Amino acid sequence: MQELRKACDGAWGRGLGIAGEIVCVPNSAPRGEAAAAYFRSEGLRNGYPDLLLDVPAGKYHGLRIEMKRTKGGRIEDDEQKWHDRLRARGYAVVVPRGHVEAKAFVERYLLGEQVP
């Protein structure tokens, strides 16, 4: 996730007009039970996508990115429920394997192309 965020905030993102636009949802941040309880009380939801790009493109209201490792990692049931809900509401949701694939999805999204 850090590689994608750095790219979005750097020259690549500036070239696309999205520098400073990507936002991280700290669902998987390592923390103690007290911090986890605090974040849940503030509205953090299990399964919500990792990264948000609230820039409308094509037919979409915004892009939601659920990052997975290049090898391994699977979509959990609570993640799939969020993906389905967000897609039904007009958001693009992608599940890239690593930052290289994520960058390709972002570029396709910003061009107004259909993304999975």
Structure tokens at 108: 């396709």
Give the per-residue pLDDT at 71: 86
Burial class (CB in 10 A: 0-12, 13-18, 19+), 19: middle
List, run by run, the mean pLDDT of 10-residue segments along the chain (116 residues). 90 94 78 78 86 95 94 90 97 95 96 87
CATH 3.40.1350.10 fits 2-110, yes or no: yes
What pTM value is reported for the model? 0.88
Closest residue by Cα to residue 73 from 95, 49, 50, 46: 95
